[in-house]
Structure formats: C-alpha cells, structure tokens
C-alpha cells in the first residue's frame, strides 16, 4: 500500500489500536518537550505517577515563557524545573537559550521521529520531517513515563506547492494563504502534509514557519518531507547522523488536497483578531502603526532577522514606531552578532529582546492603548498582546520592516528591489546553556518554591450530575479567553487556586465568584471551543471551580483531550440549535450519567421545564474509563 509521510510515521510508532479511519490509536513517543508555563505542572504530574526516570529516547525541559522575573514565582519555577529535569533524566535548556521550538529544531529534532510537546506549536518540528504534536502537560507526563499517546487516526490533507515565491513574498505568506482558505477550524483532526515542486526551494526554517502556524488551523500536526534541504540543515547543525530520507510513496492517497501556486502569492497579513482574517496588504494599507515586533518561534530564525537587518541597514525606525526584535534562539543571536548583522538592527533603533516568547504571550512589550502592532508572530487573539484594545496584525519579516520604516502598514514591494542576501553562514553552535541530566538522579533534591502547590485531582464521576449553566460563550473561544496569559497571570501556573480567579477574566470577571456560589457548574459554548494554546490550565482551573462538563457545538482537539484528562465531560450538541435555548443560570440534570455514557448519546434535562437536550460524547472506550475514574491520573494509578 502506498503511504503518505504522516501515515508512515504513525504506523512505525503504532503500539495500540488499529490503524483505520476514526479509530483511536496509541503511539510510541520518541521525544518530549515542555516549557516553563506548562512544565511545572507536567513534572508535578510525573512525580504523581511515581516514575523514577523518563522512559523516552529524549526529553527536554525548556524555559522560554515566564522569563520576566518581576517576582519570585518564575525564578522558583525555573529552579524546580532544573532540579526536576536532573532528577528524572531530562535535558534542561536554561533561560535565555531560546524558544523551545526553535532550539529543538536546531539541536534535537530528527526526521521520522515522534515529538510530543506541552505546547501547541510543537508541530514546528514538522519542518524537519518530524511528527510533532501538541498536547496537554498530563499527556506529556504519561509519555515521559513510557505510556502511549492516544489520538483518533487523523485525516491527511495534502497541500501541493507549485512554482516559486516571487520577491518580497515569504513562507509566512504561504501559511497565511492556507489559513485564508481553510480557517482556524480547517485542520481539526487532520495532519497537513506539504509536497509538490514548490517545496524544493524552501529552507528548513521557512518550512518550520509554515508547520508552526499549522497550529492556527487546529491541525494535529503539519509535516514536510525530509530531503536534501533537511540534510543540509542538519549538516550545518553538526547533526547529519540524525538525517534520514522521508517522502510519500508514489501514488499515496490523501483525504483532501489543495494546490497553491506560489508565483501568484502576494504579501499578506492577518487582521485583528484571528489568524485566518487574512487579506493582501494592498487591501489594508496605509494604516498608521505604533509597534512592530519581529521574532517568536514563527519568524525568529537567522534568515528572518538577516532580512530585517538588511532592510533596516543605514535607516532609522519611524519616529512613531517602537521596533522590538526577539531572536528565536541564542544560536541565532550569536550568529547575528558574529556576522555583524546585529549592529545594523541596533543602529536602526531596534530594541533587542532576549531569546524568549516575550511579547507573543503578553510577557512584556504590550502595545499602547488602542495601538496598532504588526507582529511576525502566530496569534493575534484579542488581548493576547497584553493590551485589551490593541489591534494586532500578523505578517512576515519583509512587511514588518516596511511598517517599521514607513510608520504604517505598507506593501513591502514598495521598498524597491529585493535585497540580494548571501547564503546563510554556518551557525554558531554553543550548547553550554543546555544541561545534560546526570547518569543517576537518585540523589538530586527537587527544590520547590511556596507558589508551587499540590495537584488538583477530580473525584470519580457520580451517577448523576445536577449543575447550573455558569456561562454561555460564542464560537472560537480560545484558551486565552479561558485563562489569560501575560506577566500578571502566567506566574500563577503552578498555583491552580490562585490561577482560578482569572477564569474567563476578559469575558466575565464575575465567573469565579458565581462558580463558587453554585459549587457545581457547566459551560455552554459554540464551535471550536478551546482553540489556541495547549495550556491544560484552561481545564484545571475550571475544574477547581467545580465545572463538571462543557456542552459545545464543537471542540478544538487539544482542549477536548485536556478536559477528558481531568475528568470534565465534553459533550457536543446533537442539534446545534439547542445552543440558542440555553442561558446562564439554567439548571441542567444529567441523570444516570455513568450508564448513559455507554450509549452514543446522552440526554440532559433542563430543570426548569423538563425539556431534553441530546448530546454526543464521542468518547473512546479508553476515554470513557478515564472520565468515569475522574481523570487520567486516577485512571493511570488504577491501571498500575
């Protein structure tokens, strides 16, 4: 049978289940990654599982999110993560070494391997021909403990790239075009596989930009072949031994296919407040700009910043604009410095930030009130920048440079001839900021700060549930809506009780108080509930407040899995119109729910008028057992 790339890797790593459509399968995970916003909880969960040493080929703990240390909390988390990594046998990437996805691509990623990461942008590794999948921290902890990762066999969507990119058009414009066509829901339960003659001219960093933003499609993963470009990248990193060729078989089939003619693409941008609100920049310009931010795990490579530096050389940032630059990794920063490129950026008036997520997750550099910010990042959800009323546009480095120079959103083709950039030089390879684990971590003491609190565990599912509707929210609610990021809230990720005070903070600040008043509640949502970040805290904090179930038109993949992992029942309306019939304060009763779950549908009784609402749970046999046990930790302990 002719297989596509995604199916080859899935089949090679299959350890449980049958590889067929709509079937749940278990995969062997070769590598894992965590970062400091998700990692503390993941290592607490690993401790709770009673594991002495990670069982994967490689696990890496990164610090890249909570690096703004304006209190003791973040520094305490970093110390906990470093000592935990040593204890359990994981590598530790120190603060300042770079963003997990960029560093993993450079120093650890390998074609054909599986990577499970407690971060939604883990599919960045697909630029190397690696199957990277984002998941909640508990799924990653189980994988570190040697357990399989479970998912429903995804459909594979083929994106054929033909032709060649014209000057001033880049990889960011390719993925923006995919988002424009498919929307933020278009990749749900799919792996996006890129092929066609157009991929040959795309470098690994360019491919990684595209696979990174596959997360914005809701895709399980995105992947490119492993070819001569992949080999060249790994050779430059001194890791040629990690290379293996990997391509789709001739005649491989796909559930869906689209074709993008690269020659026809133009510079584009995503308008506020969604990555799929994409238009040509010619349709947006001229729009005054207050801030330009370049970097992140999407466009923080040497090539991206080399282009920016060349366009800024000998010029100055517009007086109205603040230009901030965050290299994706320390390796990128060192290479820019060695080549003298960093000088061009500094001389232009750019502000150089540390190699970390920073502004992308609202950790500093918030725009001014009602400010317009052009960012080379991957998300522009309302309020994510740290300023509630900011207008954030997503674009590539060339468009960012044009905005920084002109002071307004400008088609970069107006800057003149495209610069003749040299071939990227060999990178500076310096792994002194990556700490290898000791051979035996038995004598390592894990250090915990006062903000690191014990895990919140659920009770087994009762026979019946009586709840109040706590809130009714619309389509495309993100995990940022459920639990905001930013320097005020992110340091509380290790303290679920304190974090729970911010559930739905931007939508309804009274939600926590109302949830505590009712003691037991349910959330009603529209389509694609829980899109965006993998943060399992968007399930953990509502659980702490007594949320028993979420009734939605549809769910984003990772968040639905996180709800199951913590014993919160995810239900989907059988009749989407029933969504309109529910209001906050309604009493709902799920009678004999444990028994009802044995059928495909469950029936919910509205207490005030006895009306019935039919809902589907779509849970596998394994997931049903997890829900009934009160979550994956309880289920795993029982299994052990």
In whole angstroms, give the CA distance from residue 284 to residue 623. Answer: 46
Count of domains for the chain:
3
Judge whether 449 lies within some domain. no
Tell whether 629 and 560 lie within a shared domain: yes
Tell whether 603 and 504 lie within a shared domain: yes
> What are the per-10-residue average pLDDT scores of the chain (640 residues)?
95 96 96 95 93 96 91 93 98 97 98 97 98 96 96 97 97 98 94 97 98 96 98 98 97 96 98 96 96 96 97 97 97 96 95 92 91 96 91 98 98 96 94 96 94 88 95 95 88 92 95 94 97 91 96 96 96 96 94 94 87 94 96 81
Judge whether 150 lies within some domain. yes
Among 210, 235, 264, the domain-final residue is 264
Which tokens go with 235? 């050779």
Query: What is the pLDDT, as a whole number, of residue 640?
Result: 54
Tell whether 27 and 76 lie within a shared domain: yes
292 torsion bin: left (phi>0), alpha (psi -120 to 50), beta (else): beta
Tell whether 488 and 339 lie within a shared domain: no
Judge whether 271 lies within some domain. no
Structural domain of 563: 465-639
Judge whether 431 lies within some domain. no
Q: Considering the entire predicted model, what is its pTM?
A: 0.94
Tell whether 106 and 167 lie within a shared domain: yes
Residue 557 backbone dihedrals phi, psi, to 5 degrees: -60, -55
Among 221, 240, 264, the domain-final residue is 264
Residues forming a β-bridge with 261: 162
Judge whether 438 lies within some domain. no
Tell whether 79 and 33 lie within a shared domain: yes
Judge whether 355 lies within some domain. yes
Tell whether 79 and 181 lie within a shared domain: yes
The CATH number covering residue 260 comes to: 3.30.499.10
Query: What is the pLDDT, as a whole number, of residue 639?
Result: 67
Q: How far apart, in Å, are the Cα atoms of 258 and each of 159, 169, 193, 203, 207?
A: 5, 20, 11, 21, 17
Tell whether 31 and 170 lie within a shared domain: yes
Tell whether 228 and 353 lie within a shared domain: no
Helices (H), 353-436: 397-406
Tell whether 392 and 298 lie within a shared domain: yes
Count the Cβ atoms, other than its own, within 10 Å of residue 341: 18
Judge whether 162 lies within some domain. yes
Biggest alpha carbon–alpha carbon distance for the chain: 73
Q: Which of 522, 515, 486, 487 is nearest to 501 (CA)?
A: 515
Instruction: Decide if 33 contacts 60 (C-beta within 8 A).
Output: yes
Among 396, 415, 434, the domain-final residue is 415
Tell whether 253 and 294 lie within a shared domain: no
Instruction: Decide if 617 contacts 597 (C-beta within 8 A).
Output: yes
Tell whether 166 and 303 lie within a shared domain: no
DSSP state of 117: E
Judge whether 157 lies within some domain. yes
């Amino acid at each position: 049978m002719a297989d596509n790339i995604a199916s080859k890797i899935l089949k090679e790593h299959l350890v449980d289940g049958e590889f067929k459509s709509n079937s749940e399968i278990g995969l062997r995970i070769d590598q894992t990654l965590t970062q400091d916003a998700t990692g503390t909880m993941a290592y607490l969960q690993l401790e709770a599982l009673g594991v002495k040493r990670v069982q994967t080929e490689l696990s890496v703990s990164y610090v890249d999110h909570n690096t703004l240390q304006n209190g003791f909390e973040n520094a305490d988390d970093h110390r906990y993560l470093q000592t935990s990594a040593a204890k359990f046998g994981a590598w530790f990437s120190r603060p300042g070494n770079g963003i997990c996805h960029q560093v993993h691509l450079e120093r650890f990623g390998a074609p054909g391997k599986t990577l499970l990461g407690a971060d939604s942008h883990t599919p960045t590794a697909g630029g190397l021909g690696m199957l990277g999948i984002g998941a909640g921290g508990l799924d990653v902890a189980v994988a570190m403990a040697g357990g399989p990762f479970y998912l429903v066999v995804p459909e594979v969507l083929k994106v054929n790239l033909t032709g060649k990119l014209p000057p001033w058009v880049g990889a960011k414009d390719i993925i923006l075009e995919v988002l424009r066509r498919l929307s933020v829901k278009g990749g749900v339960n799919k792996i996006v596989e890129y092929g066609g003659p157009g991929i040959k001219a795309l470098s690994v960093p360019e491919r990684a930009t595209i696979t990174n933003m596959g997360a914005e499609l809701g895709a399980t993963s995105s992947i490119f072949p492993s070819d001569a470009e992949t080999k060249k990248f790994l050779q430059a990193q001194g890791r040629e031994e990690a290379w293996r060729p990997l391509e789709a078989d001739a005649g491989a089939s796909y559930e869906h296919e689209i074709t993008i003619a690269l020659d026809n693409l133009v510079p584009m941008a995503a308008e506020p407040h969604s990555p799929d609100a994409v238009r040509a920049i010619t349709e947006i310009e001229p729009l005054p700009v207050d801030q330009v931010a370049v970097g992140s795990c999407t466009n923080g490579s040497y090539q991206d910043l080399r282009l920016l530096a060349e366009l800024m050389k000998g010029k100055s940032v517009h007086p109205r604009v603040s230009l901030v630059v965050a290299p994706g990794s320390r390796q990128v920063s060192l290479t820019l410095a060695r080549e003298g490129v960093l000088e061009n950026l500094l001389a232009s008036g750019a502000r150089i930030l540390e190699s970390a997520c920073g502004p992308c997750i609202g950790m500093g550099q918030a725009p001014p009130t009602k400010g317009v910010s052009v960012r080379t990042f991957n998300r522009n959800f309302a309020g994510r920048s740290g300023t509630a009323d900011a207008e954030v546009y997503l674009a590539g480095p060339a468009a960012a440079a044009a905005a920084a120079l002109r002071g307004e959103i400008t088609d970069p083709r107006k800057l003149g001839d495209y610069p003749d950039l040299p071939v990227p030089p060999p990178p500076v390879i310096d792994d002194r900021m990556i700490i290898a684990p000791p051979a035996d971590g038995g004598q390592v003491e894990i250090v915990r700060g006062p903000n690191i609190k014990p895990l919140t565990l659920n009770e087994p599912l009762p026979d019946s549930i009586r709840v109040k509707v706590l809130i009714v929210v619309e389509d495309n609610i993100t995990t940022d809506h459920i639990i905001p990021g930013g320097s005020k809230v992110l340091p509380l990720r290790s303290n679920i009780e304190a974090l729970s005070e911010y559930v739905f903070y931007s939508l309804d600040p009274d939600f926590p108080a109302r949830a505590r008043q009712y003691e037991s509640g349910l959330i009603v949502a529209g389509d694609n509930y829980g899109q965006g970040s993998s943060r399992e805290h968007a399930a953990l904090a509502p659980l702490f407040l007594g949320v028993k179930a979420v009734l939605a038109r549809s769910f984003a993949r990772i968040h639905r899995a996180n709800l199951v992992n913590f014993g919160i029942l995810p239900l989907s309306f059988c009749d989407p119109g029933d969504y309109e019939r529910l209001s906050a304060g309604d009493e709902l009763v799920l009678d004999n729910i444990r028994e009802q779950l044995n059928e495909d549908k469950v029936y919910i009784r509205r207490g005030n008028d006895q009306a019935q609402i039919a809902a589907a749970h779509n849970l596998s046999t394994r997931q049903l057992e997890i829900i009934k046990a009160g979550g994956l930790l309880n289920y795993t302990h029982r299994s052990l």
